[in-house]
A and B are shown apart, each in its own frame.
Chain A
């Protein structure tokens, strides 16, 4: 009994940690690239986006794992998408009501969470095969992994494009007497692609050195 509960705790821990690094959705699985590139111009929208994804991921994983025994194989993707679309609608309405400026800044990228591959991937790979509790743990791990990645990427881009992180000025700008000349390119599409590309390269390098 004791042994059993210990191994299940280990399982939960592994599931949780997998999302953060080993199976990090962006760096390892290359899922959810569109929002990763699109909303990381600044940290604030990236963080909001991450929270929305965590919310949708947890809710959809709960529902999918509850209905996993009722699913017919050829209709399951359809059921996943409809479940996700429902929760995304809820998240969108909440954002519109309480954070209208963030809702404007994110624009169509909030409803686009519906087609974010991470959520369908987790529904398919985890929630449709496992019980509710482990699906929730998995959703939190994956969601946090995604949010952290978004925030790291967004911090780099925001710092280089405006000299600020989370709208707090860190580097003193040239126009106000400092030394830093903002690199506008990093707020543009090229900044998104190149920063992510270089980060992936760096991670490849680090994980190769380790092994």
Chain B
């Protein structure tokens, strides 16, 4: 029961309280780039969720089984980025085989998941928070993916409506998206303090 509560709290903390997009500014590029339409945003969110879970788990394993306590620790970042690049390659092959329309619509943004800071960021945060059990690492990576999907879908929903709004000319496009994102973070600040 106790572990269950810890896991649930870890999950909620990463989805709502410490959402990577809203509080840590990670994954802003796809957040601004792909959030034009809800279905694309959702596909992107799922792909990122999968990659982040896979790489979060693998990097935790590599870190704890091989690197920690050895001089090899300095190669940590190189190892992390290799794992992530491999995971993205896997997802790309899978999506191309089974969901060709999604593959076409995501285009360049799919291989760019490698350089999505949300993923490397989460691997680094897991390392930084000194999480020492595998289950919690998996739950947190999953939470981060769900949090990212939620953020990008909310944004896509708002932007679909924003197209009908009368925005001053100089603010159209990215500036108004950034301001909207700012207001969204304000809403999500309401969750802070819910979990320590």
Contacts and interface: CB of A to CB of B under 8 A. Distances in A.
A198 B175 contact: yes
A120 B117 CA distance: 13
Given A30-B174, A198-B179, 10 more contacts: A34-B28, A82-B78, A82-B81, A85-B78, A93-B74, A108-B121, A190-B185, A193-B178, A194-B183, A201-B175
A92 to B, nearest CB: 7
Interface residues of B, number: 44
Q: In the A-B complex, list the 5 residue pairs whose CB atoms are closest, starting with the nearest.
A: A193-B182, A197-B178, A197-B179, A108-B124, A194-B182
Task: Report whether over half of chain A's contact residues are helix, strand or loop; otherwise say mixed.
Answer: helix
Nearest to A34: B117
A9 interface: no
Contacts of B47: none
B75 A188 contact: no
Interface of B: 22-29, 32, 74-78, 81-82, 85, 111, 114-117, 119-121, 124-125, 128, 168-171, 174-179, 181-183, 185-186, 189
Interface stretch (A46-54, A109-117, A169-177): A109-117
A121 to B, nearest CB: 10
9 contacts: A30-B174, A33-B25, A77-B85, A78-B85, A81-B114, A88-B77, A89-B74, A93-B74, A111-B124
Contacts of A196: 178
Tell me the dominant secondary structure on chain B's binding face.
helix
Which one of A38, A191, A196, A197 has the highest number of Cβ atoms from chain B below 10 Å of its Cβ?
A197
Contacts of A112: 26, 117, 120-121, 124
A200 interface: yes
A204 B76 CA distance: 41
Interface in A100-149: 107-108, 111-112, 114-117, 120
